[in-house]
């Protein structure tokens, strides 16, 4: 019996989106191929000549090490990765059963991508995030910074430093000792602090410079620079790696680039006079999320930019609180945990935070910090970062303590890893300083990681805790959906998709004593440090990217439809192709959970 190829394409996504005439023209270029079970269509490195559509049977996709990446069935397309790259297969495709396939020539496939944006978007979602189109603000500083910036010792006479700046036409000079940044001197500093004040020309730079300036690592994004500049009112950003100066990025360098709307929001936040104004500004986050997703930014960029807004809002509330209450009686540090701590906030976020106080704090001082915590927490809630259901907030006395008490907390959780200790330790291992004296946390973080990683019982409990959230895998290659309630027949992309990876990343960071807090950064660092196998780590990153990207796209679609964003997606909303890949991602997570549970998930 002859096959009506055009009709077959019309019933399969994304070819169903083609106009009838274009689909008929495509069908004329497509041929039918039958392949026996066990036969290989192509191997890694082979010339890639066709895109394939499965009519019957099963095709297994494996990497060069033989690890199964995908198991594909009828109505799944495959082969596009090689065609999009350089015409060379990047995976191996083998028939697990007798199969019938439609073959679309490479030239026809590329014509589809060129002429039909909907088809392009369908196949583009499966490409590695690093190759997607990015806005300039998502570029790392390492790619834009000026390397080997002008430096001088702090004791250099002011007139000598000014002459050096004039000679090479720069607006700043870094005061450094053995590569360590001690301060920065700009032309603005010379004008306002030296010339205007009549300071002698032989005055040391150290007397006029801005000491201990804000710095960023080369892995930070241009957006991070923009956000810091507009929030702090600075124009020069030294770039530091491992404590050593490696470059600088100035506002002048960035004038040719247009700031993203996230930077504009932060600029407004930095000068907001009250919490009501902040709430109006933060209320534009959903619109920003839609724009960022539409621009095909990778999930880790979208969540970083959105978290930056949460950070700026928190810092502005802290400043408003101090303006109302007066200066704090002792130094303090406001920290975020949860998704904000990991820089993974989306369109749905509650608040998880705490306060670390200087050990000089006395019981009477708590009245001030209780008021400060209430002011900030109430302001965050008003802005849409709703109160934590578990009361994991600085408003609770338990989470507003001096450094010595926090040391006792961590020591107790590690020594007695009961269920509550596991839960609390999991939350607190995601702590990230937001505002105040950052020095109050540095030693505490290092000490805790060292002590926890050495306690095999505690590590075992943390691994067990990381297996509580299971991916939604059902029988017969289906999904295990929510069975009842308002979210019936959906899958929870947060608790059954993202959270299991977050938990695994935390375990790897603990084993490797890694200070990274962001999940994706933890996985990359764990691979580098040997805390997880290279193959397993890379597979887990790919799975995480797929699920996290799907989650953001789901939220963006809800927002565009006038609904509130959530994490509950109906599998039927996805194409067969998308469902297959999403399920494969869940399989990878389950595999890595099994490996962690058996002791094979990391390398000692």
Give per-residue pLDDT as tens, 429-466. 899 999 999 889 988 888 888 888 888 889 888 898 88
Question: How many whole angstroms from its chain centre is CA 191?
Answer: 41
pLDDT at 85 (0 to 100): 64
Give per-residue pLDDT as tens, 302-322. 999 899 999 999 999 999 999
Question: Are residues 55 and 114 both part of a single domain?
Answer: yes
Q: What's the CATH code of the domain at 45? A: 2.60.120.10
Q: Is the pTM of this model over 0.85?
A: no
The distance in angstroms from the start CA to the end CA of the chain is 59
pLDDT at 600 (0 to 100): 59
Question: Are residues 482 and 551 both part of a single domain?
Answer: yes
CA-wise closest residue to 383 among 284, 263, 306: 284
> Is 423 within the bounds of a domain?
no
Q: What's the CATH code of the domain at 204? A: 3.10.580.10
Q: Judging by DSSP bridges, how do beta strands 172-177 and 432-436 pair with one another?
A: unpaired
Lowest mean pLDDT among 28-37, 261-270, 427-436, 557-566: 261-270
CA-wise closest residue to 245 among 212, 204, 208, 203: 212
User: What is the rounded distance in angstroms from the CA atom of residue 114 to the CA atom of residue 120?
Assistant: 7
Question: Are residues 243 and 348 both part of a single domain?
Answer: no
Tell me the DSSP string of 365-410.
GHHHHHHHHHHHHHHHHHTT-BPPTT--STTSGGGEEEHHHHHHHH
Give per-residue pLDDT as tens, 486-509. 889 899 999 999 999 999 999 999
Question: Are residues 149 and 166 both part of a single domain?
Answer: yes
Give per-residue pLDDT as tens, 141-187. 876 788 889 999 999 999 999 999 999 888 999 999 999 999 999 99
User: What is the rounded distance in angstroms from the CA atom of residue 13 to the CA atom of residue 125?
Assistant: 14
Question: Are residues 59 and 74 both part of a single domain?
Answer: yes
> Is 326 within the bounds of a domain?
yes
User: What is the rounded distance in angstroms from the CA atom of residue 515 to the CA atom of residue 443?
Assistant: 12
User: Which residues, in sequence order, are bridge partners of residue 77?
Assistant: 53
- Could you give the number of structural domains in the chain? 4
pLDDT at 482 (0 to 100): 86
DSSP helix/strand/coil, 201:
coil
pLDDT at 261 (0 to 100): 63
| Residue 385: domain span | 261-410+431-443
Buried b (16+ CB within 10 A) or exposed e, 2-40: eeebbebbbebbbbeebeeebbeebbeebeeeebeeeee
pLDDT at 52 (0 to 100): 93
In this prediction, residues 543-548 reach a mean pLDDT of 94
Give per-residue pLDDT as tens, 16-37. 778 888 889 999 999 999 999 9
Q: Which comes out higher in pLDDT, residue 243 or 85?
A: 243
pLDDT at 374 (0 to 100): 98
Question: Are residues 292 and 436 both part of a single domain?
Answer: yes
Give per-residue pLDDT as tens, 104-136. 999 998 888 888 876 776 676 444 333 344 455
pLDDT band of 58, cuts 50, 70, 90: confident
Question: Are residues 158 and 95 both part of a single domain?
Answer: no
The pLDDT of residue 520 is above 70: yes
DSSP helix/strand/coil, 41:
strand
pLDDT at 588 (0 to 100): 92
The residue whose two tokens read 């020539």 is: 105
pLDDT at 73 (0 to 100): 74
In this prediction, residues 189-201 reach a mean pLDDT of 92
pLDDT at 133 (0 to 100): 41
User: Which of 213, 230, 254 is at the close of a domain?
Assistant: 254
User: What is the rounded distance in angstroms from the CA atom of residue 426 to the CA atom of residue 67?
Assistant: 31
> Is 416 within the bounds of a domain?
no
User: What is the rounded distance in angstroms from the CA atom of residue 335 to the CA atom of residue 435?
Assistant: 7
> Is 129 within the bounds of a domain?
no
Give per-residue pLDDT as tens, 203-249. 999 999 999 999 999 888 888 888 898 888 898 999 999 899 999 99
Q: Which comes out higher in pLDDT, residue 552 or 419?
A: 552
Question: Are residues 141 and 113 both part of a single domain?
Answer: no
Question: Are residues 174 and 315 both part of a single domain?
Answer: no
User: What is the rounded distance in angstroms from the CA atom of residue 439 to the CA atom of residue 447?
Assistant: 14
E strand or H helix at 34: strand 31-35
Q: Exposed/middle/buried for 414, CB within 10 Å: 0-12, 13-18, 19+?
A: buried
Question: Are residues 506 and 374 both part of a single domain?
Answer: no
pLDDT at 562 (0 to 100): 83
Q: What's the CATH code of the domain at 394? A: 3.30.460.10
User: What is the rounded distance in angstroms from the CA atom of residue 486 to the CA atom of residue 148?
Assistant: 58
Radius of gyration, CA atoms only, the chain: 27
User: What is the rounded distance in angstroms from the CA atom of residue 455 to the CA atom of residue 436?
Assistant: 31
In this prediction, residues 560-573 reach a mean pLDDT of 88
């Amino acid at each position: 019996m002859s096959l009506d190829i055009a009709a077959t394409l019309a019933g399969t996504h994304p070819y169903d989106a083609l106009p009838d005439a274009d689909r008929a023209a495509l069908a004329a270029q497509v041929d039918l191929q039958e392949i026996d079970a066990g036969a290989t269509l192509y191997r890694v490195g082979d010339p890639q000549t066709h895109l394939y559509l499965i009519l019957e049977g099963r095709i297994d996709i494996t990497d060069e090490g033989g690890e199964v990446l995908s198991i594909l069935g009828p109505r799944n397309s495959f082969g596009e990765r090689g065609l999009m790259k350089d015409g060379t297969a990047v995976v191996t495709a083998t028939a697990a059963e007798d199969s019938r396939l439609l073959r679309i020539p490479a030239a026809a496939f590329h014509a589809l991508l060129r002429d039909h944006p909907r088809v392009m978007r369908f196949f583009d979602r499966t490409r590695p995030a690093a190759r997607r189109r990015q806005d300039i603000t998502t570029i790392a500083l390492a790619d834009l910074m000026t390397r080997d910036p002008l430096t001088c010792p702090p004791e250099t006479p002011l007139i000598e430093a000014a002459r050096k700046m004039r000679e090479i036409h720069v607006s700043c000079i870094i005061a450094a000792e053995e590569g360590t940044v001690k301060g920065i001197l700009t032309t603005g500093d010379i004008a306002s602090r030296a010339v205007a004040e009549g300071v002698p020309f032989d005055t040391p730079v150290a007397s006029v410079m801005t000491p201990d300036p804000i710095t960023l690592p080369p892995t930070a994004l241009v957006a991070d620079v923009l956000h810091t500049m507009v929030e702090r009112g600075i124009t020069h950003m030294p770039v530091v790696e491992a404590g050593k100066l490696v470059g600088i990025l100035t506002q002048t360098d960035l004038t040719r680039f247009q700031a993203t709307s996230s930077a504009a929001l932060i600029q407004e936040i930095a000068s907001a006079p009250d919490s009501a104004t902040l709430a109006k500004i933060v209320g534009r986050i959903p619109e920003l999320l839609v724009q960022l997703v539409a621009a095909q930014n990778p999930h880790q960029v979208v969540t970083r930019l959105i978290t930056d807004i949460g950070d700026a809002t928190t810092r502005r509330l802290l400043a408003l609180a101090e303006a109302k209450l007066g200066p704090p009686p002792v130094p303090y540090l406001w920290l975020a945990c949860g998704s904000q701590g990991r820089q993974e906030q989306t369109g749905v976020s509650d608040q998880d935070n705490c306060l670390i106080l200087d050990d000089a704090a006395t019981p009477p001082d708590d009245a001030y910090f209780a008021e400060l915590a209430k002011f900030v927490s109430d302001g965050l809630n008003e802005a849409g970062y709703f109160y934590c259901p578990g009361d994991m907030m600085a408003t609770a006395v338990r989470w507003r303590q001096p450094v010595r008490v926090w040391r006792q907390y961590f020591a107790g959780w590690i020594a007695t890893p009961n269920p509550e200790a596991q839960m609390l330790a999991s939350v607190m291992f995601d702590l990230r300083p937001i505002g105040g004296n950052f020095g109050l946390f540095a030693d505490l973080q290092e000490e805790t990681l060292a002590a926890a990683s050495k306690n095999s019982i505690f590590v075992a409990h943390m691994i067990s805790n990381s297996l509580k959230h299971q991916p939604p895998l059902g029988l017969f290659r289906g999904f295990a959906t929510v069975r009842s309630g308002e979210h019936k027949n959906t899958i929870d992309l947060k608790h059954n998709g993202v959270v299991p990876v977050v938990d695994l990343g935390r375990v790897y960071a603990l084993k490797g004593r890694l200070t990274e807090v962001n999940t994706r950064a933890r996985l990359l660092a764990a691979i580098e440090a040997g805390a997880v196998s290279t193959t397993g780590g890379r597979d887990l990153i790919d799975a995480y990217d797929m699920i996290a990207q799907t989650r953001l796209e789901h939220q963006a679609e809800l927002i565009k439809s006038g609904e509130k964003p959530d994490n509950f997606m109906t599998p039927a909303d996805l194409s067969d192709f998308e469902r297959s890949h999403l399920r494969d991602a869940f399989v990878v997570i389950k595999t890595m959970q099994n490996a962690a549970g058996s002791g094979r998930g990391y390398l000692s």
